[in-house]
Amino acid sequence: MSGQLYIISGPSGAGKSSLCSKLLEACPNLHLSISCTTRSPRPGESNGREYHFLSTGDFEAQKKEGAFLEWALVHGNYYGTRQKDVENILHQGSDVLLEIDWQGAAQVAKKIPNAVRIFILPPSIQALEERLISRGQDDASIIQQRVAAAEAEIAHADEAHHQIINDDFNQALQQLTLLGSSKQSC
């Protein structure tokens, strides 16, 4: 038996990580695939939990070997999902959740066409900017880069099977949980 792959995408600050965290708590048959990145860990992050933190050289070597199901250069850092990590979980009959950007979602959809793509949208660009500022994780120039990138990313929302506007967190979580429960994840 094989599990189902779910892809959650959306701009930085839309609430993907918070929604995914709560979804994983509610859905025992859903497992997060830990992506790789070359960015530095943020306060409170640890290797192997939020990401596999790799040097640029290690990432590029794995990329050259074809180890990644998807990868992208985002905000000056590499991000990618190792194919073997996803396949191992799916082959165990469990469902997999990928929290990746729209570029990665498009790459995965080509390789795994039955993946369910979900795009998380902020209620507005202004609300997104306020969320990024309140996180206190990035300086003003990075926030402005993320806001500018968000506008371009949002243009790809219609490529997903489902779009969820994260205006009310509990309502967005309920919508997301219903999508997972229709496939027996929750």
User: For 6-51, what is each residue's pLDDT tens digit?
Assistant: 999 998 888 898 999 999 998 888 999 999 999 999 899 999 998 9
Q: Provide mean pLDDT across the span 63-75.
A: 92
Name the pTM for this structure. Answer: 0.84
Could you please state the CATH topology (level 3) that the domain comprising 5-181 is classified under.
Rossmann fold (3.40.50)
Half-sphere exposure of 96 (CA within 13 A, CB side): 25
Q: How far apart are CA 69 and CA 80, in angstroms?
A: 7
Helices (H) and strands (E) in the chain, counts: 7, 9
One-character DSSP codes across 1-16: ----EEEEE--TTSSH
Mean pLDDT of the chain: 90
pLDDT tens, position by position, 127-152: 888 888 888 777 888 888 888 889 89
Residue spans of alpha helices (H) in 95-162:
102-111, 125-135, 140-154
Q: How far apart are CA 84 and CA 89, in angstroms?
A: 9
Q: Are 7 and 109 in contact (CB under 8 A)?
A: yes
